Structure 1
Amino acid sequence: MNAAGRSEFFARLRAANPAPKTELAYATPFQLLIAVILSAQATDRSVNLATRRLFADAPDAAAMAALGEERLMDYINRIGLYRSKAKNVVATCCLLLERHGGEVPATREALEALPGVGRKTANVVLNVVFGEPTIAVDTHIFRVGNRTGLAPGKTPLAVEEKLLRCVPAEFREHAHHWLILHGRYICKARRPECWRCPVADLCSYRGKTAPPGGSEAS
């Protein structure tokens, strides 16, 4: 996809959703950080179901650290990998209290020093909380980047680096959410819904689909 195509690609996604937001429910930067940690290999819906009660009872780092791992697991035991996530969350809360006064740090280095926080989680927090034009490449963005020809790469980091180079500056702040939502609801893994895709004519995917009951698009 050339520069003109990339610009048009994001212009159309912006027209359809001018102010995209994460689908994780949160009220504070701390709660977003915890929700993103919990969302690894889990759906946003399952995380929101768990955090609704969790954040009501433990809204900040001090309260969540006080829960301890065993009690925290009672809140999140329907989320995948909940045991390791409980361990990481409690350890993260303790470090936030010890090093940052209970607040979420604003640098990648400090975020990635927290247990359970990798590059993707740090990118989400930097983008959503601090407005940095980062792009957290999850399975949806990796798929969209490769399938459409927008930013092909063999690894999430390669796709991220290519997106940061090629996404026009005016779209960079919200590119993360536009691409995730596009991958989640239209450019789906098993069967993309190309017949209702606003950027289908810009996409290089050869297996474009037709509406159910129709023939495959050429």
Structure 2
Amino acid sequence: MTRSKANSKKQHGIDFKKIRRKVGRKLPPPKNTTNTEIKSKAIVLPEQSVAAEKAGLAVNKKGLTLKELLQQTSHHNPKVRRDALMGIKDLFTRHPAEQKSHRYATVEKLRERIGDDDKVVRKSLYDLFKVMILPCCKEDNQEVVVSLLMPYIFNAMTHFSVDVRMMAFDFLDLILEFYPPSFSPLYAEKGWGNGVGLNGIFLLHWGQF
């Protein structure tokens, strides 16, 4: 009986052969495995250096041009607007010729901040006009600067905020300080259109109206 079982194993063979593998050797992948490896080549683009693009342009200590700084004065964040005004002051200090070349464009953009909701922004703007911008334009056609600023000053005088209205009179003082001959009766008439006459302007300014 035992002999017949041994003969039976020889006839049918072994079901499977156990493969002995060495410890530490990496197993080869199964033959039916799909290779999912993705090979790609990096696309090399020519680098455009920001510094190279601004070569020859007047920039402030942070490397910003006048165009960039003027754009930032309209930013929704008050801190960005404040920093932009300080940056313009720094740029004009470093590059007086830049201020001279773009003085009217600078006034035209910065006048929008006369009625700014942020107190520090208005004060920074006032200092910038007093120390740098208006003195630079004093030898030019003064009527141009006055005509650019007065509509925004009058508009600020009718602002719902008392602080903005009072600051508008400070800007008016600057106009009268630097360009007194250019403040014609025409602006007093325009003031009446806003509910503020020339006499009313000074009465409001000194708290008597």
TM-score by length of 2: 0.25
Report which structure shows greater RCO (CA 8 Å, sep ≥6): 1
TM-score by length of 1: 0.24
